[in-house]
Structure formats: structure tokens, C-alpha cells
Structure 1
Amino acid sequence: MKDDARLQAAIDLLETIAGTSRPADGTAAAFFRDRRFIGSKDRRAISMRVWGTMRHWARLTWWFREAAADTWANGERPDWDSIRPRARILTYLVLVEGMGLAGVDGLCTGEIYAPRPLNEHERAVVRFLRGKPLNHNGMPVWVRGEVPAWVATYLKDIYGDHLPTLLDALTKEAPVDLRVNTLKCDRDNAIIALAEGTDEESVEAVPGHYSPLALRLAGRANLAATNAFRGGLVEVQDEGSQLVALLAGARPGMSVVDFCAGAGGKTLALAAEMQNKGRLVACDVSQGRVDRSAERLKRAGAHNVTRRVLSSETDKWVKRSKGTYDRVLIDAPCSGTGTWRRNPDAKWRMSEEMLAELTALQARILRSAARLAKPGGRVIYATCSLLPEENERQVESFLAEQGAAYRLLSVADLWPELVNPAVPCPVSGPYLRLDPAEHDTDGFFVAVLERLETATPEAPGAEDEPQA
């Protein structure tokens, strides 16, 4: 494809992403699947431009509004949400790729497959933006940090002076991390297998920093085409997510439940820690997610997993099974703020109202699922969120409600035994709180709770659902 056609495809893709509630990665996959004539190099170039625009969304919008106010006759700034994806991509071409009017004009020719020519307003905007820096001292913190204003306010309380550094890290492209599947190989052999790569290229991987099972790719690669991936030797999993599974402390012969299993990433890690010995139940409220995990489990050689679809967090199975599990992992549905460097579109879909709904759901899930732990068993509560409302405050509220039924264990104390005695624990307190700026992982939170009582009282809101 010529670059003008790539640019129009990028505009079309960004329009498609903006017009749906689906995640951007799934939308992009469907977009390219419907356009098989677009080759792999073209897909990469189009995706880089689209994801680059999304990573700079707030700053591009701020600058376009400044340019519009300066160049349009009425001097007004357009509404934040009314600015079209084409305008943002044109702004990206100037501010990030460094194009001038001649370069943008040369792409927007109106010829077949090319974007339509610039109108007079767009030409004025391009001239105004030429030579401007992407960052500007007049930008609010939330604009420079590429997050909604309300999120910056929430994060300021816990991150303080570290907030600008954190927000900057969230705008960067995330690395690709792999977890070595110990059911099939060790880390050294996985590195060798990856180096064999594909017919087109080898795949270079280096050990991670915290997890003894982690590998980090040196660059981008067609991982799905490698024998190492197809043979189940490795799985794509952020190193922070691997730490969540390791802190569960699942061991061979235990009974373990992954209560919010999703597509099964942490289930696979738990099965490997259990060496396929014991009982592992993967639960989710989505039949689709449970079904999609089947192929991953088969590829990894995980044989001790039972998949179960729940009607809700208070499914009758929970009450029937209470007090029977050694470990209960609750990877709770959350805002996903810790993964925003991977999903830059998600930050603009989140609202305070949605956060309130999520925190209420998290509290209900924690109350109900905790009943599954046997005396002496552990409940591992985790999110991929940076917001204290979804993390520490949830755990504090749960412990206050439960009285003496559970106690909070220190992650720092558990670390040498469960994670990696050769690497110091990255935190000193009871919680594991990771962020991409300080730890170079996605943002994760983990709390480990131990059940102390021999009988768990019925928690408020944890009763069975009414009969239909």
C-alpha cells in the first residue's frame, strides 16, 4: 500500500474504534480480518499510527482546540468529544511525526484510496501546529498525563509527587512478557525454543526481573507462529500478572478456585504451580470466556481444571461449596487503569459512574467468594487497577465487616517462599502494589487474606439468588 492509502486506512480504523464500545484490539483485529488485502507490513504501519494517536489522545485534542480557537473565525474551541478521528490523526502527523503542510497535503490528495484534500480550516490548523512541541506548560496535569481529569484527582491522593512519572509511563508502549509453562519446560529451554523463532525471524527473550517464570521479548514478534507458543511452552502474560498467581501459593494436591477466571491466563499459571495435581475450578459469569479458555488449557497441557459458568457472584454453587477450598483467587473485574498503556482507548470509556458500579460489584464478589475458603485457607484479592477505591479500601471494608474471621497477611513476608527468594520484594507493606513507572509491569494490586474461623457467617449480600 502507498502511504496515502495507509493513512486513510488509519482514519477508517480510528473511526471504527471510536464508534463502538468494543475494546480497540478486538475491533482492529476484525477490521483487518475483513480486509485481507492489507499485508502484514501495512497492518503494522496502520496500527502504529492509530495506537500512537490514541496514546496521545488528550494532548492532540488540546492542541487541536488551541489551533481551532486561533484560526477559526469565531475563535471558539470545539467541544472535546466532537473532534473527529481524522482531525486527531492530522494533528498527530504534525506534532508527533513532524510533518509540515506540504507533507500532509501530499498524503491527502483525494485520489483513489487516499484521504480527501484538506479544507481551509484543516490547512490553517496544520500551519498553526507546525513546529509546536507535543507538551506545553499550559496543559493541565491530566492532559499531559493522558487520563481523564477525574482519574488524576483520584490517583493524586495515593501517588502524590510520583503521579506525573506514573502518568508518563502509562503513555508508553508496554513490553511483551511471557510466562514459562513449567508443565512442559523450564526458562532456559524456553529461551532456546523461542530463539528458533519462525521461518522469517528468531525471537529473542530475556529473563524477567521479579518472576522466576517471566521472559521479556526484546522486540515485537509473530509469537503465534513459533513452535514454542504453539507447543504450549510459553503463554503471553505480564510479569505483574504472574506475581498475582504466584502469591496465591497454590501447591500440588490443593483445592483451588479461580473465581473470576476470564479467558484463563491465571488459571493456566495456577495449574502449572499445582503440577496438574489437585482440584482447580475456573469460574466466570461469561460462557464465552469460559469456552475460549478450553483451547489454551489444552495447548498448555493443564488437565486438573474444571470450568464452571456462574449465574452471578452469589450462584448457588458458592454456598454449596463454602469452606472447601485451600485457595480462592479473586481477580476482580475492575477499571483496568493499570493496563492503560496496553489499552489506551479504555481510559476514555471509563467514568466515575462506572467506577462506582465496579466497586459495588467488587465488594459483593469478595464477600461471596471468600466463603469458599476453608479454615486456614487463603483468599487472594487482586485487580489490575491503580485506584485505591478498588484496592486497599475494598480490603479494609471487607476486614471491618468480617470482624475476626480473616486476617491480612504481609506480601513482603510471603514473597521469599512463594515468589522469588533471589530478588527482594518490591514492597515493604502488606499489599503488593505495582505500577509501570516504578516496576516496569502493568499496574497490579494484591492482598492475601487468611481465614481464621472454623465457620463463616453468612455475609451481607452473599445469600443465594431467589428461585425463578
Structure 2
Amino acid sequence: MTPFREEQRERGATDRAWQALREIYSAWESSKAHTPADRLANSEFRARRYLNAHERRWCAGHYFDAIRFRRKYQWLLSRLALAENPDTLLQLHLSLAPVSTRPPHFQAIVEEERLQAAVAAMPTPDVPEDYIRYVLSFPDSLARSLLQLFPPEEAICAAQAFNRRAPTILRVNPLLVSRAEFLKVHSDLRPTPWSPWGVYAPVGANVYTLAGYREGWFEIQEEASQLSAFLARVRPGDTVVEIGAGGGGKTLVLGALMRNRGRILAIDVHEGRLKELVKRVRHAQIRCVEPLLVEADKTGKWQHRGRSWRRIEQIRSQTQCVLLDAPCSGSGVLRRSPDARWREVCIEEFSQIQRNLLLEAASLVASGGRIVYVTCAFEPQQNEEVVEWFLSTPAGRGFRKEPVLEALREAWKNAADLAEKESADKRRNASRHAEDMPPLEALCAGDYVRTWPHRHDLDAFFVALLRRCE
């Protein structure tokens, strides 16, 4: 076997990066119930400006992988009869990594033979639930949900896909630049397959330094999130409500589809998120958005008071579309937020909030209008079961489910048309759109849209389309 040479060591695998990793991971273990892993990492890296770009990249990669496979490492530490703490968990993580990724003075946690014996004793795919729980490192509830949704072999494939790092996706702003124009400026980038506004970002690049960012040409937004906003199928002049607008990712899509004509009431219960939305809306030069801060109880019911409530009362039963971006457990975005799997959540509480918000949404929709119900979670208790409950209520009996494949094709074509800014381009490319349309039927699951990382390389989103027919 060729001996390891120092010059083969991965750039960034330094002793000071290893020390930073230990400190940052320990900070996450201490605050994981309160602080998302990415937010904590950003804060910790700002406090360690002595790390160069390669060291930060090395540190971030191992930090998120240690979080992602935390349960696997806990199982192995127990098998090896070693104490479990942040240091031993990270030491085990790097002991299992290639030698070239380890810092110069790193010491393996145990001898190689003993370590490999422990790994060999781990559950196999013949016991799917234990394999997903321990080898693929999922909490019991998510392992059970995957096995309820898929046959064992596919459930394992789904879990493996959730453990891979997701690509970073950019969404061009068609009000300012077409995707074709953007790609001419960035000839090394390539378009995404599902969204006609999407572009793959360079691996490991700081996208905020790319040409066009300051001008508002693009934002970061995953393809499934883009598609869910396209499905609102809003038009210029519409009155639109977005419930759970958050930082405004889908709001920007709605504003572009409406070509800045009409009005979007962007509702959220978090003031800080709405402040971020306002910044992004200005940056993207969207001028038809009105942010509204509402009060709600812990079950999601709005408190009927204040200026925002009076504003909502003015558009009751007059809205062409309500996009309900429902609060959820976030199980569908584990590729981007690996720590989400370790947060203690109560699915029943999320389900109750989702039901109450659907009732609020129904009261705003005009005759012939629609609700687009969206979650980034895969458990049926937050998706199909909530929608079926709503349709059985007095408020929901006036709604019906829309055919999703037809809606997807219409939404994709509308977005593709807008992506071509110049009328000459539109005429030239109109006949091409039908040929370029991806196989959208693959995203349909019965009456709903369901996307998956192992099937489509998309985050796991759920979308239901409900039209008021009374």
C-alpha cells in the first residue's frame, strides 16, 4: 500500500481547523434545541476570521456530517465502550474518514481493527428500520414514516438521499434578466432540469460574489420551492395572500409572475422574518408586496385585532389565490438542514396549526379562487391527512382538489414564457417549450405533488391545489 504523503493531505485539514471544529460542534451540542446549525456555524466562523477559505470549508463539511450521522456515532461509541461527548464523537467521525482528510496531529480514537469490527456489527439492510435508524442515522419517528411511505428498499434509498448534501440552486429574477442572459454571463454554470428559472450554483463558491447579485438578478432558492410557488398560477392584477411568507422566497416568485401588477399580502407571525422579506423584495425590485404582521396563538389561530387584522378583513372573500406555506417539521429539507432531524417536534401540534391556517385561508378566497397548500415535510399527518380533514369540514366542502398534472404543466409553461424576456425570444422559443418541458408527471402522487431527493434530486415538498367551486 502506498504510504500517505503529507502533500496529499486535503487543503484545509489543519490543526487549527480541527480545534475550531471541536469548539463549534461543542457549541452546537450545547445550544441545539434553540439555534439552527447553519446559523450557529455562521456566527462561529465570523468569530474565527483567522481560518482561511479552505479551512472553513473543511470545518463546515465535517461539522454538518458529524451532526447528520450523530446517531450512528452514538451507536458505535456505545459498542466500543467509549464515553460519549462532543470530542469523542468528532474523533470517531474523523477516524472513519479517509486519512487525507485528517489534520496532521490527529490520533484515531481506537486501533483500526477494533473500529472496523464495530462498524461490521452495525445493523444491515436486512433489518430496514434499524438500518435507517442507526447506520443512516435517523430518529425513530422519521424512520417509521419512510417505511410507511415506501417499500423497505426504497425507504433506504430515500434515507440515503436525505443524507447527501444538496446542490445550491439559484433562481433568476425574470423581471431583470432571462436565464439565457444570465448563463451567457456565467458560461460555466448550467440550468436546472425542473425549474425554467433555476441555475446550479458553483460547488463551494460564495454566490454573493457572482456577477448580477448586487443588481438583484438572482436569489438562492431550491427547485421544489420554486415549483410550489409557480403552482399558484397568479396573474398580473391579482389579489394574492401568502400565509407564512417568512423571509420571502416564494413572495419574490409571486411578484415576478404578477409582473409587479396587483397586490400580495405577505403574512407572518415573526417580525424578524418580515423585515428580511422587505429587504429581499427591495433588492429584487418587487413593488406589489405589503407585509403584514399578525398575532396568533400556539395553535395557529389568528388574533382578530390590530391594523393587520383590519387589512385582512378588507380582502376577505376577494382573493384569487392564497399560498399557504404551512409551518411544518421541516423533515423534507434534511439535505440542507441535517440538524432538523434531531429537533424535538410534536407532529400533532404542527397538524393542528396547519388545520387552523387552512380555515383562515378558506375565508379569504373568492369564488373560483384557489388555495395552494405547501409543506416541506414528508409525513402524511402534515400533508394528505390535513387536506382530507379540511375537505370534510363545513368550510372545506366548498372546495375541490384540482388535477395536479394539468396545473403543473400550465404553471411550468407560464414560468418558461416569463423567463424569456424579449417578445422575439418568446416567439422563437414558444414551440420549444413543449419539447423542453420536463416529465412533470413524475412529480405527481395521486391528487398531490410530492417531490423527493432520491427520485427527483429535489427537497421533499408536498403541494395540494384546492379551488373554491361554490
TM bucket, shorter chain? 0.7 to 0.9
SS of the residue aligned with 1:303?
A: coil
8 Å CA contact retained: 1:58, 1:146: yes
Q: Paired residue for 1:409?
A: 402
Deviation for aligned residue 1:58: 2.0
**Aligned partner (choices 370, 385, 401) of residue 362 of structure 2:** 370
Q: Distance in 1 between matches of 2:13 and 2:167?
A: 29
Q: Paired residue for 1:342?
A: 336
Q: Distance in 1 between matches of 2:111 and 2:331?
A: 32
Q: Paired residue for 1:166?
A: 158
**1:346-366 CA-partner distances (Å, limit 9, x unpaired):** 101134xx2221111111111
Q: Which amino acid aligns with 1:291?
A: K
SS of the residue aligned with 1:307?
A: strand
Q: Does 1:188 align with 2:188?
A: no
Q: Does 1:325 align with 2:324?
A: no
Q: Paired residue for 1:128?
A: 114
SS of the residue aligned with 2:439?
A: coil
Deviation for aligned residue 1:326: 0.4
Q: Paired residue for 2:98?
A: 97
Where does structure 2 lack aligned partners over 5 or more consecutive residues? 1-11, 125-129, 414-433
Q: Does 1:221 align with 2:205?
A: yes
**1:155-199 CA-partner distances (Å, limit 9, x unpaired):** 32222332111000000000011111111011111112334xxxx
Deviation for aligned residue 1:134: 8.0
Q: Does 1:438 align with 2:455?
A: yes
8 Å CA contact retained: 1:253, 1:278: yes
Q: Does 1:22 align with 2:57?
A: no
Deviation for aligned residue 1:229: 1.8
Q: Paired residue for 1:449?
A: 466
Q: Distance in 2 between matches of 1:419 and 1:135?
A: 48
**1:308-346 CA-partner distances (Å, limit 9, x unpaired):** 111124243244432011010001010101101111111
Q: Which amino acid aligns with 1:434?
A: T
**Aligned partner (choices 419, 424, 429) of residue 439 of structure 2:** 424
8 Å CA contact retained: 1:55, 1:172: no
Q: Paired residue for 1:137?
A: 123
Q: Distance in 2 between matches of 1:15 and 1:385?
A: 28
**1:255-278 CA-partner distances (Å, limit 9, x unpaired):** 111111000000001000000011
Q: Which amino acid aligns with 1:150?
A: S
Q: Which amino acid aligns with 2:105?
A: G
8 Å CA contact retained: 2:240, 2:321: yes
Q: Does 1:52 align with 2:65?
A: yes
Q: Paired residue for 1:357?
A: 349
**Aligned partner (choices 378, 384, 405) of residue 386 of structure 1:** 378
Instruction: From the superposition, tell whether residues 104 and 44 of structure 1 become closer, same or farther in structure 2 (CA, over 3 Å).
Output: closer
Deviation for aligned residue 1:135: 8.8
**1:199-229 CA-partner distances (Å, limit 9, x unpaired):** xxxxx32111111111112522111112222
**1:362-420 CA-partner distances (Å, limit 9, x unpaired):** 11111112211111100000000011110010100000113531111121121221124
Q: Paired residue for 2:423?
A: none
SS of the residue aligned with 1:297?
A: helix
Q: Does 1:39 align with 2:25?
A: no
8 Å CA contact retained: 2:76, 2:119: no
> Which region of structure 1 is more displaced relative to structure 2, 158-167 or 126-135?
126-135
8 Å CA contact retained: 1:94, 1:130: no
Q: Paired residue for 2:105?
A: 106
SS of the residue aligned with 1:166?
A: helix
SS of the residue aligned with 1:224?
A: helix
Q: Does 1:3 align with 2:18?
A: no
Instruction: From the superposition, tell whether residues 307 and 125 of structure 1 become closer, same or farther in structure 2 (CA, over 3 Å).
Output: farther
Deviation for aligned residue 1:106: 2.5
Q: How high is the TM-score relative to the length of structure 1?
A: 0.84
CA RMSD between the two structures: 2.2
Q: Distance in 2 between matches of 1:130 and 1:166?
A: 26
Q: Which amino acid aligns with 1:269?
A: V
SS of the residue aligned with 1:375?
A: strand
8 Å CA contact retained: 2:132, 2:159: no
Q: Distance in 2 between matches of 1:134 and 1:269?
A: 48
Instruction: From the superposition, tell whether residues 135 and 14 of structure 1 become closer, same or farther in structure 2 (CA, over 3 Å).
Output: farther
Q: Paired residue for 1:154?
A: 145
Sequence identity (%): 31
SS of the residue aligned with 1:230?
A: coil
Instruction: From the superposition, tell whether residues 216 and 175 of structure 1 become closer, same or farther in structure 2 (CA, over 3 Å).
Output: same
8 Å CA contact retained: 1:93, 1:104: no
Q: Distance in 2 between matches of 1:263 and 1:278?
A: 20
**Aligned partner (choices 216, 239, 247) of residue 255 of structure 1:** 239
**Aligned partner (choices 307, 314, 322) of residue 302 of structure 2:** 314
Q: Which amino acid aligns with 2:333?
A: T
8 Å CA contact retained: 2:145, 2:379: yes
SS of the residue aligned with 2:363?
A: helix
8 Å CA contact retained: 2:172, 2:179: yes
Deviation for aligned residue 1:132: 6.2
Q: Distance in 2 between matches of 1:227 and 1:444?
A: 30
Q: Distance in 2 between matches of 1:130 and 1:192?
A: 50
